[in-house]
Amino acid sequence: MTARTEKPLILSAFLMNTTSHIIGGAWRRESAEQHRFNELRHWTDLVRRLEEAGFDLAFFADVVGVYGDHEGGWASHLRRGLQVPANDPLVLISALAAVTDRIGLAMTSSVIQAHPFTFARQLSTLDHLSGGRVGWNVVTSATENAHRNFGGAGLAAHGDRYDWAEEYLDVAYQLWEGSWEDGALLADKTLEHERGLGLHADPTKVAKIHHRSSRYEIEGPHLSSPSPQRTPYLFQAGSSDRGREVAARHAEATFSMAPRRDLAADHAADVRRRAVACGRRAEDVAFIQGLSFVIGSTEAEARERAADLDESLDVHALIAHTAGSLGVDVGGLPIDTPLDDLETEGAQGHLGDIRRMAPNGQVTLRDLATFRAESTRVVGTPEQIADELAAWREAGIDGINIINSEIPGSYAEFIDHVMPVLRERGLARPSPGSDAAPQTLRGALTGSDRLPDSHPAARYRGAFTEHSAAATESAQITP
């Protein structure tokens, strides 16, 4: 029996409100149901099952534009179902919050797609209604079409996009952490005060922020009172050098799609060093690795099932997904064409991972397809999969983001066959039980509902007292 580990893994389901998310072509399999993505029941049934099984998180990826052209245009994306159509995860999560009690609900939202005042209010509302179970994956969008959908001339330079993200975060922090003090909302029907009877909110504890920056001018106040987490639990997924800097300053967890454990370990160690340099603790940033699983009762059966899955994959969809995020059209090239000199303003960290996986750094179109389908795949028996996950844990990874080839099958098989072994080894938390007390997402993952004082958002706590509502009142006004 393998020794128990000190800390269980964070278990997340990697989802998207579309037909074909990561493993292109698998939606065509007879047992796959992700083509039902427009049906609410499809998602409520799945997320309730994840919650009952003890998953920590249902995480919904998103895009706000189609990927770069493939085979001369974007018609290929429609034929192959490459993340189009794709629905808004924020709307879906609001529905899922109503039918769940414990599981965290996280979503991707790009800084280009919503004004920060509106977005901060939406997430505060959702955090209230879910009991504090909301997470936000902060992205900048790496496709030309996404930026053009929101008034941009095209894809902004890589560094400029991260400047934008940090400015956006700064505004949101001011609204979430600084506009309202704890205890400001009273709704006390009986309290007597100098202006009468009944006090709804204390004007001395609510303030405008009067923010001015290169992109935003926001007076405030935040229109939502403090939610259970105030700031939602913060995710970030960039792996470029600048992405790591932003993660070190802001992220509470970062998603990784590293193709090898050593690369994931190096990434985690680097970001943790940077976090300490920013005045945070190394353990303030968790690392959640994306992995898919092919499970068999024997290793031979698992290999057979993996081969069967490979037969159903759409190689062009896999290539278009990766190349499209890099902003290049390689659809007309032979499958073994090398891409040695590829340079892009797109997903640079992603391109770096692909090059590190390939022999001598040489990348071919076939490598793009292999990277998307197989580089993060684990094939084996439940015991072998548990061994592999223990090895990822030893490499410094705190959790796994489970990629599906089929919904609900990929998760049902993991729950039924792998979860019991993980629990035996201490790699998964005990089954929560129906009477488990609800927690906030941050509380479940860190033990505290609110961001620590070392996080940059904390500097706005109590920062706007001079702009409180009470400060605007004339001293001559009498009750």
Q: What is the pLDDT of residue 50?
A: 98
Q: Read off the pLDDT of each residue in 381-388 and give the average, rounded to a whole number.
A: 98
For residue 418, is pLDDT > 70?
yes
Q: What is the pLDDT of residue 368?
A: 75
Lowest mean pLDDT among 28-42, 282-296, 316-330, 448-462: 316-330
More confident residue, 259 or 266: 266
| % of the chain beyond a pLDDT of 70 | 90
- Exposed, middle or buried: residue 64 (CB in 10 Å: 0-12, 13-18, 19+)? buried
For residue 226, is pLDDT > 70?
yes
Q: What is the pLDDT of residue 327?
A: 59
Q: What is the pLDDT of residue 45?
A: 98
Q: What is the pLDDT of residue 294?
A: 98
Mean pLDDT of the chain, nearest integer: 90
Q: What is the pLDDT of residue 259?
A: 86
Q: Read off the pLDDT of each residue in 422-443 and give the average, rounded to a whole number.
A: 89
Q: What is the pLDDT of residue 4?
A: 45
Lowest mean pLDDT among 174-178, 273-277, 433-437: 433-437
Lowest mean pLDDT among 116-125, 151-160, 279-288, 401-410: 151-160
Q: What is the pLDDT of residue 369?
A: 77
CA dist 142 and 156 (Å) reads 9
| % of the chain beyond a pLDDT of 90 | 75
Q: What is the pLDDT of residue 345?
A: 44
**pLDDT, tens only, 128-184:** 999 999 999 999 998 899 999 999 988 888 889 999 999 999 999 999 999 999 999
pTM strictly above 0.95: no
**pLDDT, tens only, 343-384:** 544 444 555 555 555 555 567 777 777 777 888 999 999 999
Q: Read off the pLDDT of each residue in 58-81 and give the average, rounded to a whole number.
A: 93
